[in-house]
Structure 1
């Protein structure tokens, strides 16, 4: 177990909290939680498990370093696969970890396959499940993440939400209010933590052997990320989006951080000629501090990422989400996010407005203040102690 997380004084009677990370978004959410658990008095004992769902070893190590995450106590090294294969393999490899360490609970974040897989293992072994970032809904069941969210919330014992409307979603699904705690958004904790050390755009481009002068423009530059299957797995959809991005690039140079899946499909579908290297810079996947710098310096962001919708709202940068729906409606209602789908006219019109100074300014939602993880640790400790006391009482009766 990581001594650096345990602090000087821990509760010796409390089993470890198994904290699970699996894919890139989990790292940003779990890092502040681990720091808050270590800082709590007494410190909560922690066992960090990396499922290896994010299987780029170099990139994982880079993200851990950027976020100051400790080396995982356990790495399941699951790797890629179909949703069914990946979920099953995480479950198969995670079960012995639960058996060995007898945790006080299993804490999962977000909505990736590892989130649901580890929650399923825990609940079947009568280990309490804590879901951080609960209650978010896109109401689009074609998204695998939506299924993961719904099912994880149904089997969780303690649910921490990022916005008040999430509790309404949970109530409609029959989850009792006493199980839910509105704590704020841990993703924003990482933005606040990392902002001072964010890499400049020039630094990032030079590190990728790109002349920063390529994107120098009076209006700045735009940042692009795409990875959702609905946008990148079908030749016609991807071709149409690349065409629109090409039109945007005539008004504003773009930095396109390419997900491996997206790059592979662009090459496989023969679409690379749609990208003008004089107006659109292609970069490989970047570390957290590099992405934070790219977002912070961008005039606008075009993305289909859920996390970037939140981060751009925190940074006050206009975001155009290339999806028909979002599980983070607060970024649209209060933040800087606008849903534009894949509609050419909507995208170009929104870009035109932003470049004319009419983009959404937004505001920070409630409790997106950099202290969500502290509130989670402060709530989780007494909750675990109460469960421990209730269990001891039941055993005495027996």
Structure 2
């Protein structure tokens, strides 16, 4: 059995790493299963792609489609054209996609048009926010997928509501957490730790990249200004996403506690998160990691596709509501933030379950 695995953007790399390791382990035990890794090139910044292969010890891709940036339509079209050629030249039994980025949707469409079955890791999650490109990617991908690997019962119920047969839904847990737990002991201090005079629990981490937060410069300035003022004497470490950087250049933000840094590798970023007082983010994946690391997380979005991080984890949604943001800071700085618990099956063994199910499905 040959599985073509798709990776396109930073979140994908953390998800494919344990799956590839699980495949390799089964192969060493004589199971007839192998993979071909296709990097679409959707993220091409070194700190957003190549570094992750090095740090997470993922074998280099068999091919990089090098599609790079563009509008949603341009990028989707470029991925589909390039992946169609790849699939014709290297047929497979199954295409495995992860998450909800453009590459996930585009490669799913191509695979199904070539009559190749698709497995979707992290299937069934929904935010209900159709302004998010990722929500469209999720809906399209799940409408075509054959095998659904889910992270939560919420995802299971979403799929069943759509009429998906329970026999094709596999609750396996969260592969992002496989990578987090495996690498936690390897987290390392960022190079700026000493120069910024950082101390554990004495700083905050901020990440922003979603269009709803960063594309309108006035809104972005108001948001960052409010965060900087509310943070009082706490430093804010802000790894700047390439999408956000072009807007920040025009805002002239000069708060003493606001520290802009380049995008970080996986090990440095998660060291920063693990030792922070709290994280402010509009990333879905980071809310999962903060929940497992028991770090307070303020999510600058009005909805989430990961409700378990709010219901049992450490996450609180505030959107761009400045009053809700202020209330969250009051709880944080007064020490009243609730301690979360870890969702079911977020135990570091999700990839093993995925590969076992695939072996059973194909009777290897």
Q: Is this a same-fold pair by TM over 0.5?
A: yes
Select which of 55, 61, 80 maps to 1:91.
Answer: 80
- Structure 1 segment 75-224 matched on structure 2, within 5 A: 75-200=64-189, 203-206=190-193, 211-213=195-197, 215-216=198-199, 220-224=202-206
Show CA shifts across 1:313-339 (max 9, x none). Answer: 011100000000001001001100000
Determine the C-alpha separation between the residues in 2 that align with 1:59 and 1:140.
25
- Give the C-alpha shift of residue 59 in structure 1: 4.0
Aligned pairs, number: 361
Show CA shifts across 1:289-346 (max 9, x none). Answer: 0111011001100000011000000111000000000010010011000001112221
Determine the C-alpha separation between the residues in 1 that align with 2:275 and 2:330.
18
CA contact (8 A) 1:249 1:280 kept: no
Larger mean CA deviation between 72-81 and 97-106 belongs to 97-106
Q: Report the counterpart of residue 385 of structure 1 in structure 2.
A: 363
- Give the C-alpha shift of residue 57 in structure 1: 3.7
Q: Report the counterpart of residue 234 of structure 2 in structure 1.
A: 252
Larger mean CA deviation between 57-66 and 356-365 belongs to 57-66
Q: Tell me if 1:22 matches 2:8.
A: yes
Show CA shifts across 1:72-125 (max 9, x none). Answer: 001100000111111111110111221122201000000000001100011011
- Per the normalisation by structure 1, the TM-score is 0.88
Show CA shifts across 1:225-263 (max 9, x none). Answer: 000000000022102111111212324211111111111
CA contact (8 A) 1:246 1:275 kept: no
Q: Secondary structure at the match of 2:356?
A: helix
- Per the normalisation by structure 2, the TM-score is 0.96
Q: Secondary structure at the match of 1:130?
A: strand
Q: Tell me if 1:363 matches 2:341.
A: yes
Determine the C-alpha separation between the residues in 2 that align with 1:69 and 1:165.
30
Larger mean CA deviation between 341-350 and 287-296 belongs to 341-350
Query: Which 4+ runs in 1 deviate beyond 2 A?
Result: none
Q: Secondary structure at the match of 1:385?
A: coil
Q: Report the counterpart of residue 325 of structure 2 in structure 1.
A: 347
Greater share of residues in helix: 1
Q: Point out where structure 2 has 5 or more consecutive residues left out of the alignment.
A: none
CA contact (8 A) 1:337 1:360 kept: no
Change (3 A) 1:167 1:216: closer
Larger mean CA deviation between 184-193 and 340-349 belongs to 340-349
- Give the C-alpha shift of residue 216 in structure 1: 4.7
Determine the C-alpha separation between the residues in 2 that align with 1:116 and 1:164.
23
- Rg bigger for which structure? 1
Q: Secondary structure at the match of 1:134?
A: coil
CA contact (8 A) 1:48 1:74 kept: yes
Q: Secondary structure at the match of 1:290?
A: helix
CA contact (8 A) 2:233 2:257 kept: no
Q: Secondary structure at the match of 1:351?
A: helix
Q: Secondary structure at the match of 1:29?
A: helix
CA contact (8 A) 2:9 2:48 kept: no
Q: Report the counterpart of residue 351 of structure 2 in structure 1.
A: 373
Show CA shifts across 1:23-53 (max 9, x none). Answer: 0000000001100111124162000000000
CA contact (8 A) 2:47 2:264 kept: no
Q: Report the counterpart of residue 24 of structure 2 in structure 1.
A: 38
Determine the C-alpha separation between the residues in 1 that align with 2:155 and 2:3.
24
Q: Secondary structure at the match of 1:291?
A: helix
